[in-house]
């Protein structure tokens, strides 16, 4: 999917009611991406990823909700719980299988929502998603927990007044997706 560069983030903070609505839209959009006759390991993993995202969308909890939107449709959703300050707990993070980048864009947005120094992101991960979080600088802790301290991770850097993933700091503005609604990803 081609990227465009926008002056503003494609992520919006939404209230709990809107988040529930977007989770339903997400489920409806992604169900068509499930492969009906998955025979190889790769195909089974693909379907597993989609069903995991849909299960997590039903279990979403938190105090703050974020949506990464493409033409007002959700390509990524995150629920964050900050009742245990100063730590911020990511309760749910899901991304549409037809795109790349929404997971990282959401984490980058969440990182920039709280003052640096007070910010430590924590989550309990699924085994399958640990490599994703490691790429974003999360360090393993006990009992499937992972923690990110952007102030100490070489994967993060301050650039243009915000925290950015070091790998993408040379890119201008905010990554968004595509320009035309007809380019919305279609299922395989």
Ligand X SMILES: CC(C)(COP(=O)(O)OP(=O)(O)OC[C@H]1O[C@@H](n2cnc3c(N)ncnc32)[C@H](O)[C@@H]1OP(=O)(O)O)[C@@H](O)C(=O)NCCC(=O)NCCS
| CA 55, chain centre distance (Å) | 15
Strand segments (E) across 25-154: 64-70, 73-81, 87-95, 120-124, 139-140, 145-148
Site string for ligand X, 49-78 (x = CB under 6 A): x--xx--x----------------------
Which residue from 11, 104, 108, 174 is in contact with ligand X, where contact means CB under 6 A? 104
Closest-approach residue to ligand X (CB)? 103
- Residue 30 binds ligand X (CB under 6 A): no
- Residue 175 binds ligand X (CB under 6 A): no
First to last CA, the chain: 14
**Options 9-17, 89-97, 151-159, 176-184: segment touching ligand X (CB under 6 A):** 89-97
CB of 117 to ligand X, least distance (A): 25
Rounded to whole angstroms, how far apart are CA atoms 145 and 164? 23
Continuous H helices in 31-169: 41-58, 102-111, 130-135
Q: Which of 122, 151, 127 is nearest to 139 (CA)?
A: 122
Nearest CB to ligand X, comparing residues 40 and 115? 40
Q: Which residues bind ligand X (CB under 6 A)?
A: 49, 52-53, 56, 93-95, 100-104, 125-126, 128-129, 131-132, 135
């Amino acid at each position: 999917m081609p990227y465009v560069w926008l002056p503003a983030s494609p992520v919006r903070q939404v209230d709990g009611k809107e988040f529930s609505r977007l989770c339903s839209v997400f489920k409806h959009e992604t169900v068509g991406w499930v492969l009906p006759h998955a025979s190889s390991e790769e195909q089974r993993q693909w379907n597993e990823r989609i069903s995991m995202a849909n299960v997590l969308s039903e279990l979403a909890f938190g105090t703050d909700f974020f949506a990464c939107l493409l033409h007002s449709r959700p390509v990524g959703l995150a629920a964050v719980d900050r009742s245990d300050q100063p730590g911020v707990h990511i309760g749910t993070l899901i991304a549409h299988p037809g795109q790349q980048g929404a997971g990282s864009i959401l984490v980058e947005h969440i990182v920039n929502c709280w003052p640096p120094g007070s910010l430590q992101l924590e989550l309990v991960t699924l085994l399958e998603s640990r490599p994703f979080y490691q790429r974003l600088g999360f360090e393993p802790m006990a009992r499937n927990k992972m923690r990110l301290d952007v102030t100490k991770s070489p994967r993060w850097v301050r650039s243009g007044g915000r925290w950015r993933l070091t790998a993408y700091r040379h890119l201008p503005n905010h990554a968004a997706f595509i320009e035309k609604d007809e380019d919305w990803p279609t299922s395989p």
